[in-house]
Amino acid sequence: MSDLFSVAGRTALVTGGTRGIGLMIARGLVEAGAKVYVSSRKPEACEAAAAELNQHGEAVALPADLSEEAEIARVAEELSAREQGLDILVNNAGATWGATLDEFPVSGWDKVMDLNLRSPFLLTQALLPLLRAAGTPDSPARIINVGSIDGLHVSPLPTYSYAASKAGLHHLTRVLAKELGPQHITVNAIAPGPFESKMMAATLAAVGDQIAASAPLRRIGRPDDMAGVAVYLASRAGSYVTGAVIPVDGGIGTTV
Protein backbone atom coordinates (compact mmCIF):
# COMPACT_ATOMS: atom_id res chain seq x y z
CA MET A 1 0.00 0.00 0.00
CA SER A 2 2.86 2.41 0.66
CA ASP A 3 4.02 1.90 -2.94
CA LEU A 4 0.48 2.36 -4.25
CA PHE A 5 0.32 5.91 -2.91
CA SER A 6 3.99 6.81 -3.43
CA VAL A 7 5.21 9.41 -5.90
CA ALA A 8 8.87 8.79 -5.13
CA GLY A 9 11.18 9.70 -7.99
CA ARG A 10 8.57 11.82 -9.76
CA THR A 11 8.78 15.51 -10.60
CA ALA A 12 5.90 17.94 -10.11
CA LEU A 13 5.08 21.59 -10.73
CA VAL A 14 2.49 23.20 -8.45
CA THR A 15 1.34 26.66 -9.49
CA GLY A 16 0.13 28.93 -6.74
CA GLY A 17 2.09 26.57 -4.54
CA THR A 18 3.25 28.99 -1.87
CA ARG A 19 0.11 29.21 0.25
CA GLY A 20 -3.36 27.82 0.82
CA ILE A 21 -4.51 24.86 -1.22
CA GLY A 22 -1.43 24.95 -3.44
CA LEU A 23 0.90 24.65 -0.48
CA MET A 24 -1.23 21.84 0.97
CA ILE A 25 -0.86 19.91 -2.29
CA ALA A 26 2.84 20.71 -2.63
CA ARG A 27 3.55 19.47 0.88
CA GLY A 28 1.56 16.28 0.28
CA LEU A 29 3.52 15.53 -2.88
CA VAL A 30 6.86 16.30 -1.23
CA GLU A 31 6.08 14.09 1.73
CA ALA A 32 5.01 11.30 -0.64
CA GLY A 33 8.43 11.45 -2.33
CA ALA A 34 8.13 13.84 -5.29
CA LYS A 35 10.50 16.62 -6.26
CA VAL A 36 8.22 19.65 -6.38
CA TYR A 37 8.70 22.97 -8.16
CA VAL A 38 6.57 25.63 -6.48
CA SER A 39 5.53 28.67 -8.47
CA SER A 40 3.86 31.98 -7.67
CA ARG A 41 4.26 35.62 -8.63
CA LYS A 42 6.45 36.62 -5.68
CA PRO A 43 10.03 35.27 -5.63
CA GLU A 44 10.33 35.70 -1.87
CA ALA A 45 7.17 33.66 -1.31
CA CYS A 46 8.51 30.89 -3.55
CA GLU A 47 11.81 30.81 -1.68
CA ALA A 48 10.06 30.71 1.69
CA ALA A 49 7.73 27.91 0.61
CA ALA A 50 10.58 25.89 -0.88
CA ALA A 51 12.60 26.30 2.32
CA GLU A 52 9.66 25.06 4.37
CA LEU A 53 9.01 22.12 2.06
CA ASN A 54 12.69 21.16 1.96
CA GLN A 55 12.34 20.17 5.60
CA HIS A 56 10.16 17.30 4.40
CA GLY A 57 11.69 16.40 1.03
CA GLU A 58 12.83 18.19 -2.12
CA ALA A 59 11.35 21.45 -3.40
CA VAL A 60 12.56 24.12 -5.80
CA ALA A 61 11.35 27.72 -6.13
CA LEU A 62 10.25 28.71 -9.64
CA PRO A 63 8.62 32.17 -9.46
CA ALA A 64 6.49 33.31 -12.39
CA ASP A 65 3.49 35.50 -13.16
CA LEU A 66 1.38 32.99 -15.04
CA SER A 67 -1.05 35.64 -16.21
CA GLU A 68 1.64 36.57 -18.77
CA GLU A 69 2.24 34.42 -21.86
CA ALA A 70 5.96 35.21 -21.83
CA GLU A 71 6.23 33.97 -18.26
CA ILE A 72 4.47 30.72 -19.15
CA ALA A 73 6.99 30.20 -21.95
CA ARG A 74 9.85 30.94 -19.57
CA VAL A 75 8.62 28.39 -17.04
CA ALA A 76 8.46 25.76 -19.76
CA GLU A 77 11.96 26.64 -20.93
CA GLU A 78 13.42 26.53 -17.43
CA LEU A 79 11.82 23.19 -16.63
CA SER A 80 12.99 21.76 -19.96
CA ALA A 81 16.54 22.85 -19.15
CA ARG A 82 16.42 21.16 -15.73
CA GLU A 83 14.24 18.08 -16.28
CA GLN A 84 13.83 15.41 -18.94
CA GLY A 85 10.14 15.06 -18.17
CA LEU A 86 7.35 16.34 -15.94
CA ASP A 87 5.31 13.68 -14.18
CA ILE A 88 2.76 15.90 -12.43
CA LEU A 89 1.35 19.33 -13.28
CA VAL A 90 -0.95 20.94 -10.73
CA ASN A 91 -2.77 23.96 -12.15
CA ASN A 92 -3.76 25.71 -8.95
CA ALA A 93 -2.91 29.42 -9.36
CA GLY A 94 -6.09 31.45 -9.36
CA ALA A 95 -7.97 34.56 -8.32
CA THR A 96 -11.47 35.65 -7.38
CA TRP A 97 -13.49 38.86 -7.52
CA GLY A 98 -16.70 39.81 -5.79
CA ALA A 99 -19.12 42.59 -6.75
CA THR A 100 -22.85 42.98 -7.29
CA LEU A 101 -24.21 42.06 -10.69
CA ASP A 102 -24.97 45.67 -11.58
CA GLU A 103 -21.48 46.81 -10.62
CA PHE A 104 -19.32 43.85 -11.63
CA PRO A 105 -16.40 45.34 -13.65
CA VAL A 106 -14.94 44.10 -16.90
CA SER A 107 -11.53 44.09 -15.19
CA GLY A 108 -12.84 41.67 -12.56
CA TRP A 109 -14.21 39.40 -15.25
CA ASP A 110 -11.08 39.40 -17.40
CA LYS A 111 -8.54 39.02 -14.59
CA VAL A 112 -10.27 36.00 -13.10
CA MET A 113 -11.14 34.28 -16.36
CA ASP A 114 -7.61 34.77 -17.70
CA LEU A 115 -5.78 33.41 -14.65
CA ASN A 116 -8.26 30.66 -13.73
CA LEU A 117 -9.01 29.29 -17.20
CA ARG A 118 -6.75 30.73 -19.91
CA SER A 119 -3.48 30.31 -18.00
CA PRO A 120 -3.99 26.61 -17.10
CA PHE A 121 -4.70 25.88 -20.75
CA LEU A 122 -1.64 27.78 -21.99
CA LEU A 123 0.64 26.27 -19.33
CA THR A 124 -0.58 22.77 -20.12
CA GLN A 125 0.02 23.46 -23.80
CA ALA A 126 3.56 24.71 -23.13
CA LEU A 127 4.43 21.73 -20.93
CA LEU A 128 3.03 19.01 -23.18
CA PRO A 129 6.46 17.92 -24.47
CA LEU A 130 7.67 17.31 -20.90
CA LEU A 131 4.43 15.57 -19.90
CA ARG A 132 4.56 13.34 -22.98
CA ALA A 133 8.17 12.49 -22.23
CA ALA A 134 7.26 11.38 -18.70
CA GLY A 135 4.11 9.39 -19.41
CA THR A 136 3.99 5.66 -20.13
CA PRO A 137 1.07 3.23 -20.50
CA ASP A 138 1.65 1.88 -16.99
CA SER A 139 2.61 5.20 -15.39
CA PRO A 140 0.90 8.10 -17.17
CA ALA A 141 1.83 11.70 -16.52
CA ARG A 142 -0.78 13.56 -14.48
CA ILE A 143 -2.47 16.92 -14.86
CA ILE A 144 -4.48 18.01 -11.83
CA ASN A 145 -6.61 21.12 -12.25
CA VAL A 146 -7.87 22.83 -9.12
CA GLY A 147 -11.47 23.88 -9.71
CA SER A 148 -14.08 24.64 -7.08
CA ILE A 149 -17.47 23.53 -5.82
CA ASP A 150 -18.58 26.95 -7.07
CA GLY A 151 -18.22 25.41 -10.52
CA LEU A 152 -20.62 22.62 -9.49
CA HIS A 153 -23.34 24.48 -7.59
CA VAL A 154 -24.54 28.06 -7.33
CA SER A 155 -22.66 29.98 -4.67
CA PRO A 156 -24.50 32.59 -2.60
CA LEU A 157 -21.57 34.97 -3.19
CA PRO A 158 -21.51 37.43 -6.16
CA THR A 159 -18.36 35.94 -7.70
CA TYR A 160 -19.60 35.56 -11.25
CA SER A 161 -16.33 35.26 -13.13
CA TYR A 162 -14.90 32.88 -10.51
CA ALA A 163 -17.84 30.47 -10.78
CA ALA A 164 -17.81 30.61 -14.57
CA SER A 165 -14.04 30.08 -14.74
CA LYS A 166 -14.15 27.05 -12.47
CA ALA A 167 -17.06 25.46 -14.33
CA GLY A 168 -15.09 26.04 -17.53
CA LEU A 169 -11.98 24.48 -16.01
CA HIS A 170 -13.97 21.39 -15.01
CA HIS A 171 -15.17 20.90 -18.57
CA LEU A 172 -11.75 21.68 -20.03
CA THR A 173 -10.48 18.88 -17.78
CA ARG A 174 -12.84 16.41 -19.48
CA VAL A 175 -11.97 17.64 -22.97
CA LEU A 176 -8.23 17.33 -22.34
CA ALA A 177 -8.65 13.94 -20.67
CA LYS A 178 -10.20 12.54 -23.84
CA GLU A 179 -7.48 13.96 -26.07
CA LEU A 180 -4.46 13.27 -23.90
CA GLY A 181 -5.39 9.81 -22.60
CA PRO A 182 -3.97 8.05 -25.69
CA GLN A 183 -0.76 10.04 -25.11
CA HIS A 184 -0.38 8.53 -21.61
CA ILE A 185 -1.47 11.66 -19.71
CA THR A 186 -4.38 11.70 -17.29
CA VAL A 187 -6.30 14.90 -16.62
CA ASN A 188 -8.46 15.29 -13.51
CA ALA A 189 -9.81 18.13 -11.41
CA ILE A 190 -10.23 18.67 -7.70
CA ALA A 191 -13.19 20.83 -6.67
CA PRO A 192 -12.41 22.15 -3.18
CA GLY A 193 -14.98 23.49 -0.80
CA PRO A 194 -14.05 25.74 2.13
CA PHE A 195 -10.42 25.45 3.22
CA GLU A 196 -8.34 27.90 5.21
CA SER A 197 -6.59 30.07 2.64
CA LYS A 198 -5.99 33.73 1.86
CA MET A 199 -8.79 33.64 -0.71
CA MET A 200 -11.26 32.29 1.85
CA ALA A 201 -9.96 34.17 4.90
CA ALA A 202 -12.51 36.99 4.97
CA THR A 203 -15.42 34.66 4.28
CA LEU A 204 -14.38 32.20 6.97
CA ALA A 205 -13.81 34.99 9.47
CA ALA A 206 -17.31 36.30 8.86
CA VAL A 207 -19.38 33.14 8.43
CA GLY A 208 -17.01 30.21 8.96
CA ASP A 209 -19.14 28.65 11.66
CA GLN A 210 -22.23 28.75 9.46
CA ILE A 211 -20.34 27.24 6.53
CA ALA A 212 -19.04 24.41 8.70
CA ALA A 213 -22.53 23.79 10.05
CA SER A 214 -23.92 23.58 6.51
CA ALA A 215 -21.55 20.76 5.56
CA PRO A 216 -22.78 17.21 6.17
CA LEU A 217 -19.39 16.52 7.77
CA ARG A 218 -19.77 19.66 9.93
CA ARG A 219 -16.29 21.12 9.45
CA ILE A 220 -13.97 23.11 7.22
CA GLY A 221 -11.40 21.28 5.10
CA ARG A 222 -7.99 20.45 6.57
CA PRO A 223 -4.61 20.32 4.81
CA ASP A 224 -4.49 16.52 4.85
CA ASP A 225 -7.86 16.37 3.07
CA MET A 226 -6.42 18.26 0.12
CA ALA A 227 -3.04 16.53 0.17
CA GLY A 228 -4.70 13.11 0.23
CA VAL A 229 -6.75 13.53 -2.93
CA ALA A 230 -3.82 15.09 -4.81
CA VAL A 231 -1.47 12.26 -3.85
CA TYR A 232 -4.14 9.73 -4.86
CA LEU A 233 -4.49 11.27 -8.32
CA ALA A 234 -0.71 11.61 -8.75
CA SER A 235 0.24 8.11 -7.56
CA ARG A 236 -0.20 4.62 -8.98
CA ALA A 237 -3.49 4.46 -7.10
CA GLY A 238 -4.97 7.02 -9.50
CA SER A 239 -3.39 5.80 -12.73
CA TYR A 240 -6.71 4.58 -14.23
CA VAL A 241 -8.68 7.72 -13.34
CA THR A 242 -9.07 10.46 -15.93
CA GLY A 243 -11.70 13.06 -16.76
CA ALA A 244 -12.96 13.12 -13.17
CA VAL A 245 -13.95 16.15 -11.12
CA ILE A 246 -13.64 15.20 -7.46
CA PRO A 247 -15.39 17.41 -4.88
CA VAL A 248 -13.42 17.77 -1.63
CA ASP A 249 -15.92 19.77 0.35
CA GLY A 250 -17.47 17.78 3.18
CA GLY A 251 -20.56 17.30 1.01
CA ILE A 252 -21.50 20.97 0.57
CA GLY A 253 -21.47 21.05 -3.23
CA THR A 254 -23.00 17.63 -3.76
CA THR A 255 -25.76 17.45 -1.14
CA VAL A 256 -26.89 21.04 -0.47
Annotated catalytic residues are 162
Alpha carbon distance 83, 256 (integer Å): 44
**Residue 12 φ then ψ, to 5°:** -130, 155
Specify burial of residue 100 (Cβ count, 10 A radius: 0-12, 13-18, 19+).
Answer: exposed
Position 225, amino acid: D
How many CA atoms lie less than 13 Å away from 237 in the CB half-sphere? 16
DSSP code for 172 = H
Query: What are the beta bridge partners of residue 232?
Result: none
Alpha carbon distance 31, 53 (integer Å): 9
> CA dihedral defined by 42, 85, 26, 61, rounded to 10 degrees?
-30
Query: What are the beta bridge partners of residue 35?
Result: 11, 58
